[in-house]
Amino acid sequence: MSELSRRDFAKLAGAAGASVLAGSSLAPIAYAQGRAKVVIIGGGPGGATVAHYVKKGAPELDVTLIEVNRRFTTCFFSNLYLGGFRSFDSITHSYSNLRKMGIKIVRDWATSVDTSKRVVSLRSGKKLSYDKLVVSPGIDIKYDSVPGYSVKVAQTLPHAWQAGPQTQLLKRQLTKMRNGGVVVLAAPPNPYRCPPGPYERAAMIAHYLKTHKPKSKLIVLDPKKSFSKQPAFMEAYGKYYKGIIDVRLTTEIDNFALARVDPRARMVETKSGEKIKFDVANIVPAQRAGQIAFKAGLTQGDWCPVVPDTFASTKAKDVYVLGDASVATQMPKSGFSANSQARVVASDILAALAKKEKFAPRFRNTCWSLVAPNDSIKVGASYKPEGGILKASGGFVSKPGETAEVRRQNYLESVDWYAGIVTDVFAKSAPAKKPARKKG
């Protein structure tokens, strides 16, 4: 499969949505006691998309979306906010259009799930029964994976891997830092949300430093020996940020995983024993599925095993787990992936409740990374269930030496995709930003 053009993305989104609705072809869905109830935990690109498509496909269904936040800030494109290419408002979206569709938006925490009784308990004390449950809780940070790091320390040394206040905190710290300061970005071990994310963040922080604090340095400490889109990223670092970015990958000799963090001394120590003083530290620890997945008994290790054809949980009947929390084998954890999986889940729910034929699933993922104004690199593939896993095919990745026009088109493609996915997720449009230009 070749790479998609900007026009192809619009066609793909429309076709995928149409297949969900066509797959339903529903007469009113009801059980003896009343309307069938679909409850979704988590209002990100996975959960909110399921709510959107299930309600759109069968308006008579009782659809409830449990999400504690009034507005959702996308982790994808949050690095562009750090680099000065996006406003915070442009990556933050409301659930109002989903509510207008008749979806019940419950602002609360899901605290437990009784999968035998099909009941979700909320922090407020309320209980919600369900016929089908979708769990899309995203990630939790494994704070104890980095000695010295904690929820409290994260208020000083942000991870910013759950977008929102943490992202704003990191941005404020970069803005207030002295010219000539040192920024440390500690990347996480595999697996984690958005494999290229730390390296796009490095480019965006470096762009900010180059523009506003050119005497400053960024040190990237990586517990891994390699990373996503590495050749294209490294070319960009040398081309745009020479003398600013210092990437330290773990080798057979040096281990750049963090041995400890000392917030008072403003110092990190690597497992090789190197001590580095910093002005700003962005610590991104190891991750796991969101806490409710553990409380619901849906996990195996840190993540949730699923049937690759449908993303049905292997641990409980009539429960689906998708997005970052799921074990999607070769399919990476990303907003694009979660949205793609959500369409399949919605289609499966509609078909199951209506006792209709199920359609063969189609999955896709693409991740774009902005490395400089009008210069984006990307990686992607299609995925299909095969031999009990989601197997990648038709993969593509940006390479060093590509023309400026190719990279500019990549950027425009990413802007179109962002506008499309937030429309799909939140049933509302997001304004497309013009080609990236330096601020200030």
Three-state SS annotation for the chain: CCCCCHHHHHHHHHHHHHHHHHHHCCCCCEECCEECEEEEECCCCCHHHHHHHHHHHCCCCEEEEECCCCEEECCCCHHHHHHCCCCCHHHEEECHHHHHCCCEEECCCEEEEECCCCEEEECCCCEEECCEEEECCCEEECHHHCCCCCCCHHHCCCCCCCCCHHHHHHHHHHHHCCCCCEEEEECCCCCCCCCCHHHHHHHHHHHHHHHHCCCCEEEEEECCCCCCCHHHHHHHHHHHCCCCEEEEECCCCCCCCEEEEECCCCEEEECCCCEEECCEEEECCCEEECHHHHHCCCCECCEECECCCCCEECCCCCEEECHHHECCCCCCCCHHHHHHHHHHHHHHHHHHHHCCCCCCCCEEEEEEEEEECCEEEEEEEEEEEECCEEEEEEEEECCCCCCHHHHHHHHHHHHHHHHHHHHHHHCCCCCCCCCCCCCC
Overall average pLDDT of the 131-138 stretch: 99
Overall average pLDDT of the 284-305 stretch: 99
Give me the pLDDT at residue 359, please: 86
| Intervals of CATH 3.50.50.60 along the chain | 6-138+290-426, 142-283
| Confidence band for 245, pLDDT divided at 50, 70 and 90 | very high
6-138+290-426 CATH fold: FAD/NAD(P)-binding domain (3.50.50)
pLDDT score of 92 more than 50: yes
Mean pLDDT (the chain) is 93
> What does R_g of the chain's alpha carbons equal in angstroms?
22
Share of the chain above pLDDT 70, in %: 90
Identify which has the larger pLDDT, 439 or 98.
98
| Confidence band for 20, pLDDT divided at 50, 70 and 90 | low
217-231 pLDDT, tens per residue? 999 999 999 999 999
The CB-side HSE value for 313 (13 A sphere, CA atoms) comes to 23
113-127, 206-220, 396-410, 423-437: the lowest-pLDDT one: 423-437
pLDDT score of 26 more than 80: no
Give me the pLDDT at residue 25, please: 46
Overall average pLDDT of the 4-27 stretch: 48
Which amino acid, 410?
A: N
| Confidence band for 28, pLDDT divided at 50, 70 and 90 | low
Task: Tell me the C-alpha to C-alpha distance, in Å, between residue 168 and each of 68, 104, 274, 369.
Answer: 19, 29, 29, 20
Give me the pLDDT at residue 358, please: 87
142-283 CATH fold: FAD/NAD(P)-binding domain (3.50.50)
88-92, 373-377, 397-401, 432-436: the lowest-pLDDT one: 432-436
Give me the pLDDT at residue 437, please: 52
Give me the pLDDT at residue 18, please: 47
Overall average pLDDT of the 234-240 stretch: 99
Closest CA to 348 of 133, 30, 137: 133
Identify which has the larger pLDDT, 191 or 434.
191
Query: What length is written for the chain?
Result: 440
160-169 pLDDT, tens per residue? 999 999 999 9
